[in-house]
Amino acid sequence: MKRLVLVLAVVLLAVYAFSFKVGLSLSTLNNPFFVTLRDGAMAAAKELGITLLVVDAQDKPAKQLNDIEDLIQKKVDLIIINPTDSAAIVPAIEAANKAKIPVITVDRAAAGGQVVVHIASDNVAGGAMAAKFIAEQLKGKGKVVMLVGIPGTSAARDRGTGFKTELKKYPGIQLVAEQVANFNRAEGMRVMENILQAYPDIDAVFAQNDEMALGAIEAIRAAKKLGKIIVVGFDAIPDALEAVKKGEMAATVAQQPYLMGQLAVQKAYEYLKTKTIFIPVELELVKK
């Protein structure tokens, strides 16, 4: 009997030896992309026996800072951060560094602070993929506009860089406008309405995420130009995939948010057992 109790005690110690509490700070849960990322993280946490504390910054840098300070006070073992703003997040990361709590960033990078692992798609390559697709559809000639996400994010910067760099290979294509719509569907529609008034003869739109692309489609529909203007998005959220099937959106650069969430938690677990690694998540272009 004593031996059985001892064996059970050893088993329990083994089970709880790597039982960690991890914080997940998301930029917003008002975007299906990040909801899917959260779901992937929660699935991995359940599988690994990790307690996952999820907080939603609602796209507000100040709230994200407060959320992370709360996670620090709760003495989490590690914090996974999807920054609302790559620069504004630095003080929060530095606070975690000071508290000796390791930080992982996911999808969007941070401009400073110590981060042990960054998990993301290659956003530069994704932007280039969108530009090449549009150029091929236009046969190397036409007028294009770009809807820009939140300017302070690495995702907006990198997708824009990739798109514009690739577009330079096609001298017959003009980027006539690039305007901020903050990764938001309603703003995407409003900004697109203004663009259509200023540039009624555009041939294509690249939106740096699907939410903006879907908003742009509504503006294009209202202007009775649906099917005449190529729209390309980024993320492959369900609404965008449906728009591609309907022929309203020409393509969307597909990320893998569920996998990102899974990997973030898996690498958190590994790091807490002293392993570190950078993992790019491959992209694909969904056209049908």
Summarised one tens digit per residue, pLDDT across range 120-142 is 999 999 999 999 999 999 999 99
Contact 234, 209 (CB under 8 A): yes
Find the mean pLDDT for residues 156-184: 98
Confirm whether 2-121+257-283 and 123-254 share one CATH topology.
yes
- The pLDDT-based confidence of 7 (bands split at 50, 70, 90) is very low
* Residue-range domain boundaries for the chain: 2-121+257-283, 123-254
- The mean predicted confidence, pLDDT, of the chain is 92
- The pLDDT-based confidence of 288 (bands split at 50, 70, 90) is confident
Would you state the pLDDT for residue 279?
Answer: 59
Residue 25 has pLDDT above 50, yes or no: yes
- The pLDDT-based confidence of 283 (bands split at 50, 70, 90) is confident
Which homologous superfamily does the CATH classification assign to the domain defined by 123-254? Response regulator (3.40.50.2300)
Find the mean pLDDT for residues 147-159: 96
Would you state the pLDDT for residue 11?
Answer: 41
SS3 109: coil
Two tokens at 90? Answer: 């630095």
Would you state the pLDDT for residue 13?
Answer: 40
Which single residue is written with the structure tokens 């980024």?
234
Would you state the pLDDT for residue 138?
Answer: 98
Sheet-wide strand order for 173-180? 173-180, 142-148, 204-207, 230-235, 251-254, 284-286
Find the mean pLDDT for residues 159-181: 98
Find the mean pLDDT for residues 230-258: 97
Write the pLDDT tens digit of every residue in 54-89. Answer: 999 999 999 999 999 999 999 999 999 999 999 999
Would you state the pLDDT for residue 275?
Answer: 61
Q: How far lies 151's CA from each of 95, 102, 134, 198, in Å?
A: 24, 26, 23, 22
2-121+257-283 fold:
Rossmann fold (3.40.50)
Would you state the pLDDT for residue 286?
Answer: 78
